[in-house]
Structure 1
Amino acid sequence: MIVSARSWQNPNSYFPQFPRPPLFVKRRRYFVHAAHRFSRISLIRTVTAVLLSAVGLGCAIPAFAFDCAKAAKPVEKKICANKSLLSADEQMNAAYSKLLKSAPDAEIREMLVRSQRRWIDARNTGLDGDLQGNSLSAGEVRKQIAERTRLLQDQSDKGLIAIAQRERQWLAKYAGGPFSGFAADCSFIPNDRSGTTVSYTCFGAVHVQNHDRVCSQSQDFASWQTDMYSTVSRVDGGTVHAQAYCDSQSNACNDGSSKAGWVRAAKADGEDRFPVPASGMPRLDAEMWSLVDSAWFNNCLTTPQYPAGL
C-alpha cells in the first residue's frame, strides 16, 4: 500500500476508533543525514553499495528466496512450515525475476532491486507478530505476499516500471544535481486496534534540485496521523544549506508566503523533523511517487524568490 498525503488527512477514516498508541510507538523523523540514516518502527537495512554498483542489465538476477534449512526469522519459519505460504513465496520470487528481466535500463533495475530488498526487510520485521506480540495468522501473511506479487506482476501504467518512467520524465523538467533523490522508509502498519491485519506503507522524503535550489517535502507517520514538512535549501560550493522550513497539516505551505507558516532556518534551530537533502540518494523510487506534490515542487523550484518575504 502506498499512501498519499490527502488520504491521511483524517487518520480516523483509516484507523476507526483506534486507541492511543502504546508508548513504544515513537514519532518517526524523515530527514536525511550524510550517512543516510532511515529509522522507523524497526531499522530497515540499506542495500549495500557493492550490490548497487554490481547491478546491470547483463548481471545475474539478485535472488531473495531463502533456504528453509537455514530459516532463522519467525516469519521465514512460518513460511517454510506452510505449503501454501511457501508456494506464495515462490510465486512472488518468480514475478520479481520476470520484472527484473523487463527493466528497460540499469537505473530502473537498481530501483526494483532496492524496492524488493526493502519489502523483504519489512516482511522479516513486520509480519512476525502483531502489536501485542502475537503471531500474525498464516492467512494475513499469505495476503501480504499475494499483494506484493500482484504489484510485481503489474505491467500496466500503475506498475513500478511505468511509475518510475513517469517519475523520471517529471524530474527531467529541472536541472537536477547531486541533492536530488528519495529517502524512502516502508513497513507494515496495523489496520485497526487489533493489529491482526496490516498494510505495507511507504513514507519518507522527496528532494528535487534545480540549479542552486533544493526543495524538499516529507511525510512522517506518528501517533496514527501524518505530519507533512517542507524545506527550501540553497547549494553553495557543493554544500547544501537549509533556508526555510514549513510545518503543515494542510495546504498552509503551498503558496510560499511567510504568512503561510514558513520560517527562516535559523529560527528552527534544534528541529530534526524537517527533510534535509544529502548527496548520493536514489534518483528513482516508484513507491514514493504518490508522495510527490508536483504543483508545489514546480512553484518552489521555479519561482524567483521562494518562499516570498523571508
Structure 2
Amino acid sequence: MSLKSLLLATATLAALASPAHAIDCSKAATAVEHGICGDKGLKAADAALGQAYGQIVKAAAGDAEIHAMLVASQKRWLAARDETFADPKDEHWTDDTPWRGRLLDAIRSRTNALARRSTTDPKQFDLIERAQAQRQFAARLSGGSFAGFETRCDFFPDTPASWADHYDCFSTRYYRNNDRVCSVGEDWATYRQYQTRSIDRLVDGKLTPIATCDVDGDSDSTCPDASNDSDTKARWNLQPKIDDAGPSTLPPDLSKLDADAAGSMVEGEPAGTKDDEPWLHACLTDSSYPSADPTSDGSGKRP
C-alpha cells in the first residue's frame, strides 16, 4: 500500500470512528443541518458543541473503551436530534414550542453535558468519571454475558401540550456475579419514570426468573425499602411471569460501559452506579435472596 493510500485509509477510519465535531455546512444535507447552517445563533451553538465534544474525546484518548463509549453516546444524541427536529413545519412545533428555540436549547444542553466536570475532581469530565465508576463496580463481579447496558435515548415532553423539552436516557442495566443476574429496567410513559428490578439465575445459557418488583408501586409487587416503613405490603414477587422478568436469551450487543445509563445527568448529582444499593449486593452474593425473605431490601448484606 502506498503512503497516499495508507493516509487515506487512516483518515477514513478516523471519520467512521467518531461523529463530526461540528456540521460542515458545505455538505449540509438534512433539514436540521440546513436549519443550523442558515442561522447564526444555531451555527455558533453547534460550533460550541463540536468544541466540547472534541475536548472530552481528547481527554479519553488513552482509554479506548471509554473513548468508544463517548463516540457512541454522541452518535446516539445526533440520531435523536435529527429525528426529533427533522421537520421544522411539523405540527408539534408551535408558538409556545418553537422549532428553533427547542433545537437551540437541545444543542446547548448537550454541550453542557459534555463539558460538565466532576463535582469531586474539577480536572475530570463528569461523563468519564461515570464510566470509570461503572468499570470499578463491575470489577467486583464476575461479569461475562448478560452483564452490561441496553440504553434508549430520546427527546421527551414535560407536558401533553409541549414537545422535546429535554433529552434523556433510559436503560436496562444488567449485573452478573457467577450464576446470578440482577437487572434494573427503566422506562418512561405518561410523563413519569418507571423502574423494575429483576433477579434471575443463569442455567445452561438462559435466564431462569427468580423474582421481580416495581419501584413505582403501581403493581402488586412493590420493591421492599427499609427506609419506607409505612409500606407494609412491599415484597418481591417470587412467581414472576416470563414477560415480567429479564430476557431468557442473551441480550445482543450489551455495552460494558455507558455513562448515559449511569444516573441522572443533572448537575450536582453523584456520578457512577446509582444501582449501588443493598438489594443489588444481596442479589449478587446471596443465593437465598430474596426467596428466604421476600420483604427484605437486602440491608446489611455487602459483597
Does the pair score TM above 0.5? yes
Provide the C-alpha distance between the structure 1 equivalents of 2:23 and 2:245, rounded to a whole number of angstroms.
Answer: 38
Change (3 A) 1:194 1:255: closer
The yes-or-no answer on 1:281 pairing with 2:254 is yes
Q: Does structure 1 residue 115 correspond to structure 2 residue 73? A: yes
1:62 and 2:18 matched? yes
Task: Report how far residue 111 of structure 1 moved.
Answer: 0.7
* Cross-structure match for 1:84: 41
- Any idea what SS the aligned residue of 1:264 has? coil
- Shifted more, 184-193 versus 121-130: the winner is 121-130
Larger relative contact order (Cα-Cα within 8 Å, sequence gap ≥ 6): 1
Cα deviation code 1:217-247 (max 9, x no counterpart): 1111112222221211222233333333323
Structure 1 residue identity aligned to 2:78? I
- For 1:287, give the aligned amino acid: D
2:155 and 2:165 in contact (8 A); partners too: yes
Find the counterpart in structure 2 of residue 154 from structure 1: 116
1:134 aligns with 2:93: yes
Residue equivalent to 2:281? 298
TM-superposed CA distance for 1:197, in Å, is 5.5
Residue 235 of structure 2 is aligned to residue 260 of structure 1: yes
Amino acid at match of 2:290: P
Q: Post-superposition shift, 1:59?
A: 5.4
Residue in 2 that maps onto 1:106: 64
Q: Distance in 2 between matches of 1:153 and 1:226?
A: 26
Identity of aligned residues (%): 33
Tell whether the 8 Å contact from 1:99 to 1:152 is kept in structure 2 after alignment.
yes
CA 1:279–1:186 in structure 2 vs 1: closer, same or farther (change >3 Å)?
Answer: closer
* 1:179–1:207 contact (8 Å) kept in structure 2: yes
- 2:54 is aligned, of 92, 97, 117, to 97
Paired position in structure 1 for 2:180: 213
RMSD: 3.0
1:155 partner letter? R
How far has the Cα of 1:248 moved from its partner? 3.9
Structure 1 CA distance for aligned equivalents of residues 115 and 253 of structure 2: 29
The letter of the residue matching 1:101 is K
Q: 1:53-90: per-residue Cα shift (whole Å, max 9, x none)? A: xxxxx956623344435534332222122121112112
Q: Distance in 2 between matches of 1:238 and 1:197?
A: 40
CA gap of 1:166–1:130, structure 2 versus 1, over 3 A, is farther
Does the 8 Å CA contact 2:225/2:234 hold for their aligned counterparts?
A: no
Write the deviation string for residues 81-134 of structure 1: whole angstroms up to 9, x where unpaired: 212111211221122122111104111011101110111011112234699432
Report the CA distance shift for 1:304/1:197 in structure 2 as closer, same or farther (over 3 A): closer
1:145 maps to which of 107, 117, 120? 107
Deviation of the 1:279 alpha carbon: 5.3
Equivalent position SS for 1:166: helix
- For structure 1, which runs of at least 5 residues remain unmatched after alignment? 1-57
Give the 5 Å matches for 1:11-90. 62-64=18-20, 65-90=22-47
Give the residue type in structure 2 aligned to 1:87: A
Residue range with higher mean Cα deviation, 184-193 or 135-144: 135-144
SS of alignment partner, residue 262 of structure 2: helix
Worse-matched range after superposition: 153-162 or 142-151: 153-162
Distance (Å, rounded) in 1 between the aligned partners of 2:56 and 2:282: 35
Q: Distance in 2 between matches of 1:192 and 1:246?
A: 28
AA partner of residue 168 (structure 1): R
Question: Aligned pairs, how many?
Answer: 249
CA contact (8 A) 1:178 1:280 kept: no
Gaps of 5+ in 2: 1-12, 120-124, 227-232, 265-273, 295-303
Counterpart Cα distance in 1 of 2:140 and 2:27: 48
8 Å CA contact 1:220, 1:226 repeated in 2: yes
Structure 1 residues 247 and 81, CA gap change in structure 2 (3 angstroms)? same
Alignment-derived partner of residue 42 in structure 1: none
Say if 1:229 and 1:275, in contact at 8 Å, map to a contact too. Answer: no
